[in-house]
Amino acid sequence: MSAKFVENVCVLGAGSTKYGKLDDSISDITVQASAAAIENAGIEPKEIKAGYISNVFGVADKQVHLGPVVMSNLGISERPSLSIESACGSGSVSFREAYANVAAGFYDAVLVTGVEKVTHTGTEWTTTYFSYCSDFFYEGQAGASFPGLFASMARAYLNEFDATEEDLASVAVKNHDNGLSNPKAHLRKKITIDDVMNSAVVASPLKLFDCCPFSDGASSVVICNEQFAKDHSKDYVKVIGSGRGGSPAALQGRDHLTTIPSTKLAAADAYKMAGITAKDVDFAEVHDCFTVAEVVDTEDLGFFEKGKGAKAARNGETRLNGSISINPSGGLKSKGHPIGATGVGQVVEVFEQLTGQSGQRTVNDAKIGLTQNFGATGASCAVHIFQSV
Ligand SMILES: CC(C)(COP(=O)(O)OP(=O)(O)OC[C@H]1O[C@@H](n2cnc3c(N)ncnc32)[C@H](O)[C@@H]1OP(=O)(O)O)[C@@H](O)C(=O)NCCC(=O)NCCS
């Protein structure tokens, strides 16, 4: 095999399990999503030349080194695979590695699958496991869970800007509305601002409905060079921008708590590569692990000025078919957050949106979609931009 750079990398097919509490094993759900993506792409498993599998806590379901297990179950055990961990951002990092290998010409078509299976370990253990993704010396071991760390960001945001807890609550209300139209979503339930405000305090000012749930789930996409996509004469979507960035791992290392440096760096790279600005984006799947995160994301991605994101959400600008549709899938808040799968799940949503497969949650006339997915409190981030053909 000789590598030769290719001009365009495309998404050819996508598949996902339902997100939520799942009974099947981690291996089974990984294979289910992978097989669904391959079928959706209209290709045979043997046409997949490599696999990229993102997962964080396979150890919780007694299976790490998932790559070869998935490839074997698909009947292509001879194909190489790479298992990737980057906390809650694992899926997008996996996508980026796969993208880079297709762009470099190493493979014409590859599989990217993300998975997590943690709900059976219970809230106490899952919270403990997740804290291993923080800068454990300064944060996790001192008792700072992710709800606690994002509560610090929320408190800083509310102090610094003209924003209220109700503004943050409106993000959850909007994402639950969107999730109602997503049959694969974990929490499919209409809620009101009062429901959010009256829900149990998890880490003040964040309440139950400001938080994403713990979810199981797997998502998968097939990506390939454009010639391969055309040869299979199927609807496909072009990847026009890819960027990554980093931030100090612990919150204490950052100059501000109301912005995530890695998002800005990743977005700047992705916009530059795509030759577009934030104004050209029709919709985005962003990392709303907590309501405040979505607000900060929409500012860091350039959709709103600093300090204006919360009011924009409250005013309905981020609703489905608002001025920019944010998280039409329901986002992490409603669709769910199986951490190793989330970044790939965002790409599944963009693919379905841009190929007319999203039913009632369709963003009208959308041509350009963006995904932003980070690990921990944004210590690592990847942004991708996609365009319909
Ligand atoms: C918010 C949180 C503490 C709730 O955990 P919990 O109190 O143990 O909740 P349970 O799993 O026992 O569920 C209790 C009820 O609340 C619901 N629920 C759980 N989490 C929910 C959430 N985030 N939003 C809305 N409802 C939720 C459950 O569906 C269940 O409802 P039911 O009784 O009608 O079935 C937990 O979901 C959490 O920590 N989320 C954040 C996860 C995280 O940090 N991810 C990484 C981000 S970087």
Q: What is the pLDDT of residues 169-226, one digit of tens each?
A: 999 999 999 999 999 999 999 999 999 999 999 999 999 999 999 999 999 999 999 9
Q: Candidates 3.30.360.10, 3.40.47.10, 3.10.20.880, 3.40.50.720; correct CATH number of 9-120+214-231?
A: 3.40.47.10
pLDDT digits (tens, 9 = 90+) for 131-156: 999 999 999 999 999 999 999 999 99
Helix (H) or strand (E) holding 190: none
The number of the ligand 1 atom at minimal distance from the alpha carbon of 146 is 44
Which helix (H) or strand (E) segment is 380 a member of? strand 380-388
- Dist. CA 224 → ligand 1 center (Å): 37
Q: For ligand 1, atom 24, which residue shows the shortest CA distance?
A: 209
Q: What are phi and psi of 69, to 5 degrees?
A: -65, -45
Using an 8 Å Cβ cutoff, are 33 and 15 in contact?
Answer: yes
Spatial contact of 361 and 367, defined as CB atoms under 8 Å apart:
no
Q: 387 alpha carbon to ligand 1 midpoint, in Å? A: 35
Please indicate whether residue 146, judged by its CB atom, sits closer than 6 Å to ligand 1: yes
Check whether 234 has a pLDDT greater than 80.
no
Q: In which band, very low, low, confident or very high, does the pLDDT at 81 lie, cut at 50, 70 and 90? A: very high
- Structure confidence at residue 233 (pLDDT): 72
Q: Check pLDDT > 70 for residue 2.
A: no
Query: Which sequence spans correspond to the domains of the chain?
Result: 9-120+214-231
Token look-up 């509305």 returns: 177
Q: Which helix H or strand E contains 385, and what residues bound it? A: strand 380-388
User: Hey, which residues are catalytic here?
Assistant: 88, 337
Q: Is 176 in the pocket of ligand 1 (CB under 6 A)?
A: no
